[in-house]
Amino acid sequence: MNGYLTVALGGNPNIGKSTLFNLLTGQNQHVGNWPGKTVEKVEGCFRANGKTIKLVDLPGVYSLNDGTLEEAVARDFLFREKPDVVLAMADATNLERNLYLVLQLMELTPRLVLAVNMMDVAQKQGLTIDISKLSAALGVPTVSISAATGQGIDRLLETVIRVGEGALTPAPRVDYGKEIETCLQKLDGLLETAAIGWPPRWTAVKLLENNPAVTAALKKAGHLEILKEAAACRELIGPGGERKIIAALYGFTHRVVKEAVACRNQEGKTFTEKLDDIVLHRLAAFPMMIALLGIIFAVTLFGAAPLSDGLAAFFTWLAGKTKVTFVSSGASWWVTGAVVDGLIIGTGTVISVMLPTMAIFFVIFALLEDAGLVPRLAFITDRPLKAVGSQGKHCVSCLLALGCSIPAVFSTRIMTGSHRLLAMLTSPLLPCNGRLGVMLAITGAFFGMRAPFVMVALIALAAAVMMVATFLLHRIFLRGDNPGFVLELPPYRLPRLYPVMIRTLRVNVWPVLTRAALVAAPMTAAIWLLSNLPAGSAPSVTARLADLLEPVGLFLGLDGKTLVAALYALPAKEVVLGALAITNGLSQGLEGSAALESYLLARWSGLQAFTFLVFFMLYLPCAYTTVVIYKESKSLKWTALALFLPLALALAVTWAVHRLGLLLIK
């Protein structure tokens, strides 16, 4: 042992695993990815009873052999890193299903402690759980806890340390029933003497399931007599070995629960069922979800506005001070310009627009998730999305994209196969808060009282284009693959404000923001240089680009300068107004110009303003989103498609809106 205990925390999703993790590790957490995988890895250290414990949060899974990425990550960790103790967590209100994973963990390691969480909730539901009976039936030290209140945590830690130090030796007992057990014991004996390096009983189970990887490994190592015995055993228990193993495990959990849990008969519906009657109501579900969305938006926009203004004022002040310092110290004009107008204003715009809106929007969203509402959203939207080849969880990513495309792309990790790619590539089509801010400003200036209707029309158009894009991708590139849609609808519960808020800010908001600023800063500096070099009377690079794009602009009912502005807004969409000021010669930097609004009002018709917003809303994912899509998909082909498809659709839709608008006006 190397001075500290490594403890792996395993369990089903939605059972309060991260609550326990946060409670134990507090601020000492490290969030990253599992090596080479797009699965989040969270680990942290803490001290208890004079021992240092390194706690690794395994991904929440239902099983260790369901073929998902999370499951592979969890299993690999247990095999390779061989943690000193596995802390298995189970939800007291749902023991039968939770114990299934615990049994699988018990087959992998004897150094296991079981924590039964949410005992208080179970009691309210009329369930009485006899912990000592449960512990005896499984042969594993078991502690009842409440991660929410901290009850039972001291005893849990004491037990974990005793098991880790060898003072307490669990004797896990999994009973598959007579027929399978006879086979397992036979194979177990052979595997024990062969010393293959894997837990013998676990390997025996895999052999009965006819697991291809395990069979191949044994064949390679030359254990032909074991494979022969395994084939004979499979013959004995008949076809469908894997199904029989699963059924046997559930048979065992069912018996254990029956023995250890007394259930007072429930009268009528549970709280979750009553609430579902309203939330999932045939006619009311959609109007209620839309109303909820409207409220989230209103709260985000009104709450963020004063904070954004404050931050913007701070960065303007900082830019002014820096400029004075640079000029007085004799720096050349282009260094001053690139640093002040490029770096500071560019980064400042990203932070002042993104930070308040993201913080509010994503915290609200995380609270809804914690309350159990988000899976319900996936449930009611699955059918329409299935029609275009995707599934309900796609809608969750799209909803996040209304805040920021980057967390939306990360959120597609909850999907697999083609569904994940579809959601990753199409959800950035929905306008993020950067784009929404620009849309609000321009619709407000051009349409006055009718602006809210124009906004709703634009967002509805974005949703329609997202559906079309999903359909096209599905039909052309991802035909035939159908990962299916099986989803747990967890019970409702009161969201926990403080831990959810801290986690959201630390995991979603802050890293995204800092990296977005890091990508945006050099690009905004480069744009400043392009617009102001060469110095003198020769046309700048920006002016030449505008000439080059003029025909495309005219085709869309816009002009070259507008398209260059859109191009310059790729580091961060919110700077497009500043970019329009640059390309139209109203300003030298992205900080924008007070004259821009009256300039645009004089030059653009209402139709042109609308056309511009359609193009701006759809055209391309921003620079950092593109980087994230590449990192998540690990494929140049899909990243290229993530750029090409929105661009093609934006050109087509903008052109169509422009022509249709002309017809209607005539």
Partner 1 sequence: MPLTLEKAARGRQYLIKEIQGGGPVLRVLDLGLVPGTAIEFIRCAPFGDPGQYKVRGFYLSLRKEEARHILVEAAGP
Residues found near partner 1 in the complex (CB under 8 A): 62-63, 65-66, 93-94, 96-97, 100, 243, 246-247, 250-251, 272-273, 276, 280-283, 285-286, 375, 378-380, 382-384, 386, 392, 482-491
Shortest Cβ 306–partner 1 spacing (Å): 38
By C-alpha distance, which of 548, 558, 540 is closest to 619? 558
Cα four-point dihedral sign 147, 150, 155, 157: positive
Nearer to partner 1, 278 or 548 (CB): 278
Shortest Cβ 494–partner 1 spacing (Å): 18
Shortest Cβ 459–partner 1 spacing (Å): 21
The Cα 500–Cα 348 span in angstroms is 27
Nearer to partner 1, 244 or 658 (CB): 244
Q: Which residues of 290-326 are buried (b: 16+ CB within 10 A; e: fewer)?
A: eeeeeebbeebbebbeeebeebbeebeeebeeebeeb
Q: Which residues of 7-27 are buried (b: 16+ CB within 10 A; e: fewer)?
A: bbbbbbebbbbbbbbbbbbee
Shortest Cβ 518–partner 1 spacing (Å): 39
Q: How many CB atoms lie within 10 A of CB 122?
A: 21
Shortest Cβ 280–partner 1 spacing (Å): 6
* Adjacent-strand bridge partners of 57: 9, 42
Helix (H) or strand (E) holding 650: helix 636-665
Nearer to partner 1, 228 or 383 (CB): 383
Nearer to partner 1, 82 or 383 (CB): 383
Q: Could you give the residue ranges of the DSSP H alpha helices within 127-223?
A: 131-138, 153-165, 178-194, 200-208, 212-220
3-state DSSP assignment of residue 140: coil
By C-alpha distance, which of 40, 44, 6 is closest to 24? 44
Helix (H) or strand (E) holding 87: strand 85-91
* Adjacent-strand bridge partners of 87: 9, 113
| CA angle, residues 584, 585, 587, in degrees to nearest 5 | 115
CA atoms within 13 A on the CB side of 496: 14
Shortest Cβ 175–partner 1 spacing (Å): 16
Nearer to partner 1, 393 or 573 (CB): 393
* Adjacent-strand bridge partners of 113: 87
Nearer to partner 1, 448 or 484 (CB): 484
Nearer to partner 1, 98 or 144 (CB): 98
The answer to whether 9 and 58 are in contact (CB under 8 A) is yes
Phi and psi at 353, nearest 5°, equal -85, -40
Nearer to partner 1, 98 or 411 (CB): 98
Shortest Cβ 126–partner 1 spacing (Å): 12
The Cα 318–Cα 114 span in angstroms is 55
Shortest Cβ 227–partner 1 spacing (Å): 24
Shortest Cβ 65–partner 1 spacing (Å): 7
3-state DSSP assignment of residue 53: strand
Phi and psi at 33, nearest 5°, equal -110, 150
| CA angle, residues 418, 423, 426, in degrees to nearest 5 | 120
The answer to whether 333 and 341 are in contact (CB under 8 A) is no
Shortest Cβ 394–partner 1 spacing (Å): 14
Nearer to partner 1, 384 or 522 (CB): 384
Shortest Cβ 170–partner 1 spacing (Å): 24
Shortest Cβ 433–partner 1 spacing (Å): 29
User: Counting every residue, how long is the chain?
Assistant: 666
The answer to whether 91 and 15 are in contact (CB under 8 A) is yes
The Cα 144–Cα 114 span in angstroms is 8
Shortest Cβ 187–partner 1 spacing (Å): 22
Nearer to partner 1, 202 or 616 (CB): 202
Nearer to partner 1, 34 or 485 (CB): 485
Nearer to partner 1, 209 or 229 (CB): 209
Enumerate residues 6+ apart whose C-beta is below 8 A from 468. 388, 649
Nearer to partner 1, 389 or 491 (CB): 491
